[in-house]
Structure formats: C-alpha cells, structure tokens
Structure 1
Amino acid sequence: MARPDKVAAVDEIANRFRESSASVVTEYRGLSVAKLTQLRRDLGASANFRVAKNTLVKRAAADAGVQGLDDLLAGPTAIAFVQGEPVDAAKAIKTFAKDNPGLSIKGGYMDGRALSVAEVEQLADLESREVLLGKLAGAMKANLSKAATLFSQPASQVARLGQALADKKAEGEPAPAAADGDSAES
C-alpha cells in the first residue's frame, strides 16, 4: 500500500508537469542547501526548482503524460518547473551551472517532447522574448520608414518641379520644353 505522503508528492509533481510550459532536469551533486537556495533565487518567479526522488518523478511523469524522461532520472535529481519563459529559466540554470560545477543539466521537457542537454543549452542561448520583440519592432519600424520615404518622394519631386517652374516664370524666362519631346506652342 502506498504511503499518503508519497502519493501527495507524486500528485504535486504531476500537477507541476501539467501546469509548466517546460521543465529542466538537473543533477546537483555536492551542492549545499545555500547554493540551491541561491539557484532558486536566481530563477525567481519564473520557475519552481524541486529536488525529488527519481521513482516519484517517474510515476508523476507517467500520470501527467510526460514521456522520454526515464533515461534522465538517475542519481540526485532536481527539476525546474518553468511557468514563465523557458528561455529565462534555462539561461539562469546554465549560468548557475557554469559557476557551480556541482550542478549539471541532464535534459528537459517542452512542447510534448524530451529535450537533450544540447537543446536546453540552445534554448538558454536564445535572447529573451522582450529582446526578440524589440528587434522585431525595430525591423518593422525601419520597413515602414522606408515605405513612407518611398511614397513621399514622387510628391516632393512634383513639388520641387512646380517650384522650379514658378521660379522660372517669376524670372521671366520661358518654361522649359516638355520632357516627352512635344514642343510647346504658345
């Protein structure tokens, strides 16, 4: 018979898998509680970092319909359940792992499939959503600016031509011949 505390832990982990936009599976050998607390602070509100037993995580993943994590669940395992942007959480974990060799990324899960270590690191190397949206807005503004310039040029050319004709008439010189080769008879 299953112990109630373990059943509750499996239910909690399964709910976290269901509610998360992504998860990053890590190994935390040799990290102190203070270091794990620092990682939790670095992740902020965008992710929940939880140390869990592998057997409980396997059951919870099966309950939540998450497949492909069984190979990653060996040794001391901690999982970051990401509620916000996966890029921000992956970036925070990768930076922390670089400074603390006791933490290593084993893989992850996002968009219905398991992620390899390389894929999680690629995700961490992406720019944040805000930066990408800013670049997109800048590119769109540049294109609109080019279009506005392109559309305003014919009107400004007509205005300059009209002003040149008015200046010529004011000076008393005859107007130039038409550009299409017709002679002006007045």
Structure 2
Amino acid sequence: MGVSLEQKKRMVQEVAEVANGAHSALAAEYRGLSAGQMDNLRVRARESGVYVRVVKNSLAKRAVEGTDFECMSDGLEGPLLLAFSQEDPGSAARVLKDFSKEHETLVVKMLAVGGEKYPGSEIDRLASLPTYDEAISRLMATMQAPVQKLATTFNEVPGKLVRTLAAVKDAKQ
C-alpha cells in the first residue's frame, strides 16, 4: 500500500522541523536488520534524545533542503535511516556506534555537523564529543584549578613557617 501525497508532505515537514533544530545528523544503511532490531534502535535513540527515521531518499532530500544538513543530499542512496541529535552533537553518533557494535549490518555512511559532510568513518570523533553536562564540568574544573592552586600556595606559607619553627624548637631541645 502506497503512501499518499498528504502523508509524504507531513513526513517531509516533520523531518525538516527536526533537522532545523538538530545539532548533527547521521545516515546509516540498515539493510539486514529485522523489525525487532529496528524497534530496539528506536527505543535506545528515544532515550538518548535522538530522532531516528527511515525516509525515502527523495523525501529526505526535500526535508534537508535549506538546513545545515543539505550537504548530505548527494549521498542519500540506498536503504538509509536518518538520525538527528537533538540534545548534543554526539548523541546520535554514540547511539549508532553502540548499536553497530552489536549489529554489524548497521553501517554509518555519512554524518554532518555544522553544514559540513563527513564520511561515516568519522563517527568515533563525533561520538567522543562530551555531552553538555560533561563540557560544563570540564569548564568548571579548568576555571577552578588556578584558584585552587593559589589557595594551596597561600596555605603553604604559614604551614612552612610552622614546620620551620617546630624544627627549630626540636633542634634546641
């Protein structure tokens, strides 16, 4: 049973809305995955704030038109699923990378970040990006380090004086 024109328009509009708010996008070939495995992937993706959708390539090209992911249009060939990171740039890459470890038939073909298209082999770099909370934590640790060192240095001066006085006292006794 075919998809009506209205359904196609709604699908394109939905994917375009998601693409406009996404940080990164990945296209992966899902050939060989069962329906149950695809459902499992969708559940994992939903838990991580990733939008996963299987869309006909012609509709996907229309959906990414005018977005940062328009650069992917020329590579949309074959049975592909699109995954959009909605919370942080690396979330979709982490989900697909973990899933592809268990299911070798899922192969990431390409990814896009900030209007630039990269080959699927760059998934490790994207997956290693920190989450928002991790990035804030690293920034706070970096900002705190100089203050902590200064406090330690100031505390060391009286400590050294006390140790010196104790050594002189011990020497005189």
User: How far apart are the structure 2 equivalents of 1:4 and 1:115?
Assistant: 33
Greater shift, 75-84 or 123-132, is seen at 123-132
The aligned amino acid for 2:58 is T
Q: Does 1:46 align with 2:49?
A: yes
Map of 1:6 onto structure 2 = 8
Instruction: Kindly state the Cα deviation for residue 59 of structure 1 after the two structures are TM-superposed.
Output: 1.1
Write the deviation string for residues 51-89 of structure 1: whole angstroms up to 9, x where unpaired: 000000111111436322123211101011211123232
Map of 1:29 onto structure 2 = 31
Q: Does 1:112 align with 2:144?
A: no
Q: Secondary structure at the match of 1:49?
A: strand
Map of 2:80 onto structure 1 = 77
Q: Does 1:102 align with 2:86?
A: no
User: How far apart are the structure 1 equivalents of 2:127 and 2:30?
Assistant: 19
Runs of 4+ in 1 over 6 A off after TM superposition: 160-165
Write the deviation string for residues 100-130 of structure 1: whole angstroms up to 9, x where unpaired: 0121101122222223213222111345444
User: How far apart are the structure 1 equivalents of 2:17 and 2:160?
Assistant: 66
Map of 1:175 onto structure 2 = none
The percent identity for this pair of structures is 30
Structure 2: tracts of 5 or more residues without a match: none
Q: Does 1:64 align with 2:67?
A: yes
CA contact (8 A) 1:61 1:67 kept: yes
Greater shift, 118-127 or 134-143, is seen at 134-143
TM-score relative to the length of structure 1: 0.74
Q: Secondary structure at the match of 2:71?
A: coil
The aligned amino acid for 2:97 is K
The aligned amino acid for 2:10 is A
TM-score relative to the length of structure 2: 0.79
Q: Does 1:125 align with 2:125?
A: no
CA contact (8 A) 2:68 2:113 kept: no
Instruction: Kindly state the Cα deviation for residue 158 of structure 1 after the two structures are TM-superposed.
Output: 5.1
Structure 1: tracts of 5 or more residues without a match: 172-186
CA contact (8 A) 1:14 1:61 kept: yes
Q: Secondary structure at the match of 1:24?
A: strand
Rate the CA distance shift 1:164–1:82 in 2: closer, same or farther, 3 A. closer
User: How far apart are the structure 2 equivalents of 1:123 and 1:102?
Assistant: 20
CA contact (8 A) 1:26 1:104 kept: yes
Write the deviation string for residues 2-52 of structure 1: whole angstroms up to 9, x where unpaired: 922222221111111102121111110011111011111222141111000
CA contact (8 A) 1:67 1:114 kept: no
CA contact (8 A) 2:112 2:118 kept: yes
| CA-atom RMSD in angstroms | 3.0
